[in-house]
Amino acid sequence: MIMMGKKFVGEVPFKEIYVHGLVKDSSGNKMSKSKGNIIDPIDLIDGIKLENLIEKRASDLMQPEMAEKIKKNTKKEIKPKNTIENYYKVKKGDTLYSIAKKFNTTIALIKELNGLKSNTIAIGQHLLTN
């Protein structure tokens, strides 16, 4: 925004920036473990089964009566591609070509889905395939 303001208007659009730790969910509510509307970043990195995520989000709530609603909303909000079931774990001897062939897709698509810049993959790495 600053660079666009400098380029098109010739001046910085604001002088002060306030940074705070408030993070909101998709409904605009404050994210809180006790409300059951958070996702652990480590779960996103490592992958988590949807059932485990649902159980994790619905436990230790300030309002236990909200557990069923949280479970229902989690199933609706979390897209399957965010869960580990849709990842392929690279095994010894795998290549991008063999993985693409196995899942009837292309190397280019696998690289795009996983942000790969080269054809290098590692044993144990999780790859989205489609």
Summarised one tens digit per residue, pLDDT across range 81-93 is 545 556 889 999 9
Summarised one tens digit per residue, pLDDT across range 72-116 is 888 777 765 545 556 889 999 999 999 999 988 889 888 988 889
DSSP labels for 15-70?
S--------B-TTSPBP-GGGT----HHHHHH---HHHHHHHHTSS-SSGGGHHHH
Identify the band that residue 55 occupies on the pLDDT scale cut at 50, 70 and 90: confident
Q: Provide the pLDDT for residue 15.
A: 82
pTM over 0.75: no
Whole-number Å distance between alpha carbons of 42 and 21: 18
Identify the band that residue 27 occupies on the pLDDT scale cut at 50, 70 and 90: confident
Whole-number Å distance between alpha carbons of 33 and 43: 14
pLDDT at 127 over 80: yes
Q: Provide the pLDDT for residue 96.
A: 93
Q: Provide the pLDDT for residue 39.
A: 78
Whole-number Å distance between alpha carbons of 52 and 50: 5
Whole-number Å distance between alpha carbons of 63 and 77: 20
pLDDT at 64 over 90: no
- How high does pLDDT run on average in the chain? 83
Q: Give the whole-number percent of the chain exceeding pLDDT 70.
A: 94
Whole-number Å distance between alpha carbons of 18 and 57: 30
